[in-house]
C-alpha cells in the first residue's frame, strides 16, 4: 500500500518572509539529503518539492509512484512575493536560484513604504488575479494538498499588508486547506516607526483568517543567537572547537539537473560569508522543519498538521502557538555538545528557549504538543511529560492536554531534538505590548494620514477591538493561581499518543 503524499505550499511575502524562506529551503535540502542518500524522489521529499523533467521548457512533473524513482530536478512548492524585488532577485542569483520556478514570482519595484494599507488595499487588489493564477497553478501540481504556510513579518508594509491580503484570499478560495502563518513580531525598539499600526492591522487579520499562527519575536531570536554564540565560544575555549556546517544548494540541485548526481564533497559555508540575519532566519527555518518532520518521515507517532490544529486549538480565535526548541542550533554549529535527554525536555519550559519573549511555564496552558525527533524511546517521552506536568498549570477541562509526535529521522547534526508548541495564555502579554505601542502612537494621530490615503480610519478601531477581544479571551482562561485552575470538571482525556 502506497501512502498518499501530503504537500505543503509556502508563500514567502515581503523582505523578511523571503529571507526566512531562503534559510528554510537551504535547511530543507540539507535535511532531505541526509535522510535520502540514494537520491530517490520519495513521499517525504514530495511534501516540499516537485520532481521535474528539465528537458522541457515547461518542466514536466514526475510523480512519486512507488517512491523508488530517481530525482531528475527539484522545484520548491513555493510562491515568492515582494513589492520591492531586491530579496527575490538575490534568491534568483543565489546558489538556490534553480530551485524556484520563476513563474511563481510576483514582484514590483516600489515597495509598500512600511504601510500596511498600501500593501493590503493597493497591491492586494492590483495583484489579485496574478496571485490567484499563481496559487492555482501551484496547487494543481499537488495530489493531496494539506496546508499553506505563510512566511512574513508584521512590522513592515508588504509582509503585513499584502501578506494578510493573501491570507484572506486563501480563506476565500481554498477554505478546506489549512492556513498556517509563521510571522515575525517586531521588537520594541523596531526602527520602523509605523510598525505598531502595521502589527495591529495585520494581527487582527491573523485572528480572523488563519487556522494556526506560529509567532516569532525578533527580540527572542536575537537573544537565542547570543546564547548560541556564547555556547560556541565556550566550546572552542574548552578545546572542542566548532565544526561549521555546509550548504547543500548547488550540490543537490544543479548537478542533478545536469544528470551528474550529487558530488562526494560539499563546499562549506563560512561564517564570514553570513549576512546579518542569516542565523536568525536559520532558527526560524528549523522551526518549520521540526513542525513538519513527523508528517514527512517515519516514526513511532506520526502527526499531521491537521492534528496540530485539532488538538491545540480549542476555540477558533485562540490559535496562537508559542514555540520552543531544544537544542538551539543553526546551520553552522552542529557539532556543539548534545543535550542530555531529560535536560532537553526541561529546556522547553525555560524562557531562554522560547521563540517569543515570554514564560509559558508560569502561565496557563490550553494544550501543548511535543514534536520529538531522533533517538528517543516512548517510555522516556512519557516519563518526561509526567515530570513536566507536575509543575504546569492547564485549564481544568484539559489538564492532560498533550499531543505527542515522534519522528525517527533526527535533525541534521543532532542525535535528537524537540519542538514544543504551546497554546498558552502568556501570548496575551505579547499582544498587550503591541496594543500599548499602538495606543501610544495613535493617541497623537501621528502618521495616520499615510494610512487614510488608502483605507478608512475606522479600520484602526476595528482592528484594535479584534486584538483586544482575543487578548481578553486568553485572559479569562488564565486563573490567578494554580489552585484556581484546579476547580472544574474532572479530566476527560490523557496525553494523546
Read off the pLDDT of residues 436-447 as tens digits, 9 standing for 90 and up: 999 999 999 999
Return the pLDDT at 54: 82
In residues, how long is the chain?
Answer: 497
For residue 467, what is its C-alpha cell?
486584538
Angle in degrees, 0-180, between the axes of helices 458-476 and 427-442, rounded to the nearest 10: 150
Cα–Cα dist 301/288, whole Å: 18
Listed range (55-69, 72-86, 223-237, 482-496) with the worst mean pLDDT: 482-496
pLDDT band for position 235 (50/70/90)? low
Mean pLDDT value across residues 214-223: 90
pLDDT band for position 38 (50/70/90)? confident
Q: Transcribe 455-478 into DSSP letters.
A: S-THHHHHHHHHHHHHHHHHHHT-
Mean pLDDT of the chain: 84
Per-residue pLDDT of 413-423, as tens digits, reads 888 889 999 99
Chain-centre distance of CA 158, in angstroms?
18
CB atoms within 10 A of CB 182: 25
pLDDT at 482 over 70: no
Mean pLDDT value across residues 240-257: 37
Return the pLDDT at 484: 46
Return the pLDDT at 393: 93
pLDDT band for position 58 (50/70/90)? confident
Cα–Cα dist 197/440, whole Å: 10
Return the pLDDT at 248: 33
* CB crowding 262-275: b at 16 or more within 10 Å, else e: beeebeebeeeeee
Listed range (377-381, 409-413, 464-468) with the worst mean pLDDT: 409-413
Return the pLDDT at 189: 82
Return the pLDDT at 495: 45
Contact 52, 61 (CB under 8 A): yes
Bridge partners of residue 49, in order along the sequence:
76
Return the pLDDT at 55: 81
Mean pLDDT value across residues 461-474: 97
pLDDT at 338 over 70: no
Q: Kindly list the distances between the CA atom of residue 402 and the CA atoms of 133, 311, 342, in Å, as whole numbers in the listed order.
A: 40, 8, 17
pLDDT band for position 253 (50/70/90)? very low
Return the pLDDT at 333: 52
pTM for the whole structure = 0.87
Return the pLDDT at 232: 66
pLDDT at 478 over 70: yes
pLDDT band for position 337 (50/70/90)? low
Per-residue pLDDT of 356-369, as tens digits, reads 999 999 999 999 99
pLDDT at 114 over 90: yes
Cα–Cα dist 13/160, whole Å: 8
**Residue linked to cell 543537490:** 252
Q: Which residues does 138 contact at the CB level (< 8 Å), separation at least 6? A: 9, 77, 79, 104
Return the pLDDT at 494: 42
Return the pLDDT at 261: 30
Return the pLDDT at 412: 86
Cα–Cα dist 76/7, whole Å: 11
Mean pLDDT value across residues 120-127: 97
**Residue linked to cell 513542525:** 291
Comparison of pLDDT for 5 and 211, the residue scoring more: 211
DSSP 481: S
Highest mean pLDDT among 53-67, 149-163, 265-279: 149-163
Return the pLDDT at 256: 34
DSSP 119: I
Contact 84, 110 (CB under 8 A): yes
* Cα dihedral 422, 424, 429, 434 sign: positive
Amino acid at each position: 500500500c502506497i501512502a498518499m503524499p501530503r504537500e505543503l505550499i509556502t508563500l514567502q511575502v515581503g523582505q523578511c518572509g523571503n529571507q526566512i524562506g531562503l534559510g528554510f529551503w537551504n535547511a530543507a535540502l540539507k535535511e532531505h539529503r541526509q535522510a535520502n542518500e540514494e537520491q530517490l524522489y520519495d513521499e517525504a521529499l514530495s511534501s516540499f518539492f516537485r520532481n521535474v523533467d528539465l528537458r522541457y521548457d515547461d518542466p514536466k512533473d514526475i510523480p512519486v509512484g512507488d517512491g523508488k524513482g530517481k530525482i531528475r530536478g527539484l522545484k520548491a512548492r513555493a510562491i515568492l512575493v515582494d513589492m520591492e524585488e531586491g530579496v527575490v532577485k538575490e534568491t534568483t542569483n543565489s546558489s538556490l536560484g534553480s530551485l524556484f520556478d520563476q513563474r511563481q514570482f510576483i514582484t514590483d519595484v516600489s515597495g509598500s513604504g512600511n504601510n500596511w494599507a498600501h500593501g493590503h488595499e493597493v497591491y492586494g487588489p492590483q495583484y489579485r488575479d496574478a496571485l490567484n493564477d499563481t496559487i492555482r497553478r501551484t496547487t494543481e501540481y499537488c495530489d493531496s494538498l494539506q496546508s499553506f504556510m505563510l512566511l512574513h513579518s508584521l512590522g513592515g508594509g508588504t509582509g503585513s499588508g499584502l501578506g494578510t491580503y493573501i491570507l484572506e484570499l486563501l480563506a476565500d478560495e481554498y477554505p478546506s486547506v489549512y492556513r498556517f502563518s509563521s510571522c515575525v513580531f517586531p521588537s520594541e525598539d523596531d526602527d520602523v516607526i509605523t510598525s505598531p499600526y502595521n502589527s495591529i492591522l495585520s494581527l487582527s487579520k491573523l485572528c480572523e483568517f488563519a487556522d494556526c499562527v506560529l509567532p516569532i519575536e525578533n527580540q527572542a531570536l536575537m537573544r537565542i543567537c547570543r546564547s548560541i554564540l556564547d555556547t560556541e565560544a565556550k566550546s572552542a575555549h574548552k578545546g572542542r572547537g566548532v565544526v561549521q556546517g555546509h550548504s547543500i544548494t548547488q550540490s543537490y540541485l544543479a548537478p542533478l539537473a545536469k544528470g551528474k548526481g550529487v558530488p562526494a564533497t560539499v563546499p562549506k559555508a563560512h561564517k564570514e560569508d553570513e549576512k546579518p540575519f542569516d542565523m536568525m532566519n536559520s532558527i526560524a527555518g528549523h522551526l518549520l522543519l521540526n513542525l513538519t518532520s513527523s508528517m514527512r518521515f517515519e516514526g513511532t507517532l506520526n502527526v499531521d498538521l491537521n492534528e496540530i490544529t485539532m488538538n491545540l486549538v480549542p476555540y477558533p480565535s485562540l490559535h496562537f502557538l508559542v514555540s520552543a526548541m531544544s537544542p538551539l542550533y543553526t546551520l553552522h554549529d552542529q557539532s556543539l555538545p548534545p543535550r542530555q535527554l531529560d535536560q532537553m525536555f526541561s529546556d522547553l519550559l525555560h524562557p531562554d528557549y522560547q521563540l517569543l519573549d515570554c514564560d509559558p511555564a508560569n502561565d496557563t496552558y490550553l494544550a501543548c504538543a511535543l514534536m520529538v525527533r531522533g533517538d528517543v524511546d516512548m517510555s522516556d517521552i512519557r516519563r518526561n511529560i509526567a515530570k513536566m506536568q507536575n509543575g504546569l498549570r492547564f485549564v481544568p477541562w484539559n489538564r492532560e492536554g498533550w499531543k505527542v509526535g515522534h519522528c525517527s529521522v533526527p535533525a541534521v547534526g543532532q542525535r535528537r531534538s524537540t519542538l514544543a508548541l504551546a497554546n498558552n495564555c502568556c501570548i496575551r502579554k505579547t499582544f498587550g505590548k503591541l496594543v500599548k505601542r499602538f495606543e501610544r502612537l495613535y493617541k497623537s494621530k501621528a502618521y495616520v494620514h499615510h494610512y487614510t490615503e488608502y483605507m478608512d480610519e475606522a479600520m484602526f478601531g476595528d482592528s484594535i477591538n479584534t486584538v483586544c477581544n482575543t487578548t481578553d479571551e486568553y485572559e479569562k482562561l488564565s486563573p490567578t493561581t494554580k489552585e484556581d485552575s484546579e476547580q472544574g470538571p474532572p479530566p476527560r482525556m490523557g496525553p494523546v499518543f
